Amino acid sequence: MNDFAITALLLVSLLLILGSGVWVGLTLTGVAWLAVTLFSSRPAGDAMAVTVWGSSSSWTLTALPLFVWMGEILFRTRLSADMFKGLSPWVQGLPGRLLHTNVIGCTIFAAVSGSSAATCATIGKMTLPELSRRGYPDHMVIGTLSGSSTLGLLIPPSIIMIVYGVAAEVSISKLFIAGVFPGMLLAALFSGYIMFWALRHPEQVPAAERSYSLREKLSASRSLIPVVILILSVLGSIYAGIATATEAAAIGVVGALLISALQGSLSWTTFRQSLMGATRLYCMIALILAGAAFLTLAMGYVGLPRHLAEWISSLGLSQAQLIAALALFFILLGCFLDGISMVVLTMGVLMPTVNAAGIDPIWFGVFVVIVVEMAQITPPVGFNLFVLQGMTGRQLPWIAKVTMPMFLLMCLAVTLIYVFPGIVSWLPQQMGQ
């Protein structure tokens, strides 16, 4: 059976099982079981047990439920309302008004979490109910959150950048600093789209509460002080080398509990509700992660990512053609694998081709991260889509549809960093001087 036939069989199996209403995590596990059973000599049960336990007991993974819990605690305090109170005067004059808080919130939190799933879950817990209550259309609220939350992979500290840096043997600190301008570019594109949409559909944007003077804006910004202190404590502990990302997430939880206590919103009921809410959401994410880990192992046994990467390397493409082919390759691979798995399974084969084509490995790292971000919001295995589905109860095709403009903006961002590579390379070059 050739690679195309195997790919088609697994993709059809995935869509059929998903379409029958089976949970996503169990669907991924089922497709992986099928792949291991049909195309490998290893016992599927043994492979599944080892992989699921290994993926579920990872220390680095501890940061995710802690950040989710932090979001649940903040959701039950006045912080969500305070964030809108502080940001509202500054964005009221922009077309789209409070929709920009999705982009701003995700950009800020991306610098804390390094994970798009944690960014999506945490900011979504604060913005989804608040924006819906104020009358903003669901398709824009959910669509902009889905796209903006992918910034968690690009704005440092980023787990996937560390993985790429190790795999491609390039400076992780330079990769981190190279992600700053592209992250700001994507945030600007998302906000620009909100303004464009708002100018075309002014009737769907709730009216401004009122106009604010500069003094009133600065006064309202005091509401952001607790959020800023919390973010600085988490970020500062990471950059000062005091704490790892997981330990910083624990600091975030403690900080959120302290803020909640000082605001008078911490009680046994709210504590229990936040803990149970975080547990339910993380269990959903963990089941998907376990299924994705088993599917990754199955893909490795089948050899599909390696064969496809070798095939692309053998085509003899020009630099621009190679970038376009690799973008398509990673987006298609995202139908089966999570971002880190894609990087781990393909970099060993692709890096010699990338270096031979004269592509800067730092630039290529940022390109890979943006394309992996695109895969996060691409069905059927777009991880952020699953997180949003669990949070909103909406159907996956509908979420994918309203997220499509964000996907196209990411395509534009990839084009821009190719045409203007200095967007990526300028800061690392200053760092090297």
What would the DSSP string read from start to end of 54-76? HHHT-SGGGHHHHHHHHHHHHHT
Task: Mark whether 259 and 207 lie in a shared domain.
Answer: yes
Find the mean pLDDT for residues 248-266. 87
Task: Mark whether 44 and 67 lie in a shared domain.
Answer: no
Cβ burial, residue 300 (10 Å; 0-12/13-18/19+): middle
As a whole-number percent, the residues of the chain with pLDDT over 70 amount to 91
Query: Domain ends where: 275, 298, 313?
Result: 275
Distances (CA, A) of 291 to 127, 313, 336, 337: 29, 29, 11, 10
Query: Domain ends where: 219, 240, 275?
Result: 275
Query: Domain ends where: 275, 295, 314?
Result: 275
Q: Which amino acid is at 100?
A: H
pLDDT at 57: 78
What would the DSSP string read from start to end of 182-199? HHHHHHHHHHHHHHHHHH
Residues 6 or more apart whose CB falls under 8 angstroms from that of 275 comprise 69, 72
pLDDT tens for residues 160-171? 787 788 777 787
Task: Mark whether 323 and 189 lie in a shared domain.
Answer: no
Residue 380 pLDDT > 70: no
Q: What is the mean pLDDT of the chain?
A: 81
7 within a domain of the structure (yes/no)? no
pLDDT at 207: 76
For residues 78 and 104, give the distance between their C-alpha atoms in angstroms, rounded to a whole number: 18
Task: Mark whether 94 and 197 lie in a shared domain.
Answer: yes
Q: How many domains does the chain have?
A: 2
Residue 188 pLDDT > 90: yes
Residue 432 pLDDT > 60: no
Find the mean pLDDT for residues 222-248. 78
183 within a domain of the structure (yes/no)? yes
Task: Mark whether 79 and 126 lie in a shared domain.
Answer: yes
Structural domain boundaries enclosing 103: 60-275
pLDDT at 5: 80
18 within a domain of the structure (yes/no)? no
Find the mean pLDDT for residues 310-337. 80
359 within a domain of the structure (yes/no)? yes
424 vs 42, residue with greater confidence? 424
pLDDT tens for residues 92-131? 778 888 888 888 888 877 766 666 777 787 788 778 888 8
Cβ burial, residue 5 (10 Å; 0-12/13-18/19+): exposed
Task: Mark whether 69 and 171 lie in a shared domain.
Answer: yes
2 within a domain of the structure (yes/no)? no
The conformation of residue 336, written as its DSSP 8-state character, comes to T
> Which two structure tokens, joined as six digits, stand for 49?
């047990």
Residue 187 pLDDT > 80: yes
104 within a domain of the structure (yes/no)? yes
Task: Mark whether 217 and 321 lie in a shared domain.
Answer: no
Task: Mark whether 71 and 50 lie in a shared domain.
Answer: no
4 within a domain of the structure (yes/no)? no
136 vs 55, residue with greater confidence? 136
What would the DSSP string read from start to end of 93-117? TSTTGGGHHHHHHHHHHHHHH--HH
- Could you tell me if 314 and 268 are in contact, meaning their C-beta atoms sit under 8 angstroms apart? no
Q: What angle do CA 83, 395, 378 make, to 5 degrees?
A: 80
What would the DSSP string read from start to end of 221-255? GGGGHHHHHHHHHHHHHHHTTS--HHHHHHHHHHH
Q: Which of 85-94, 374-383, 402-411 has the highest mean pLDDT?
A: 402-411
Find the mean pLDDT for residues 306-333. 80
Task: Mark whether 53 and 65 lie in a shared domain.
Answer: no
Task: Mark whether 124 and 247 lie in a shared domain.
Answer: yes
Number of neighbours of residue 321 by Cβ within 10 angstroms: 12
Residue 46 pLDDT > 90: no
Task: Mark whether 74 and 45 lie in a shared domain.
Answer: no
6 within a domain of the structure (yes/no)? no
CA-atom Rg of the chain in angstroms: 22
Sign of CA dihedral 109, 111, 112, 116: positive
pLDDT at 174: 80
Buried b (16+ CB within 10 A) or exposed e, 411-425: eebbeebbeebebbb
For residues 120 and 124, give the distance between their C-alpha atoms in angstroms, rounded to a whole number: 6
Task: Mark whether 404 and 426 lie in a shared domain.
Answer: yes
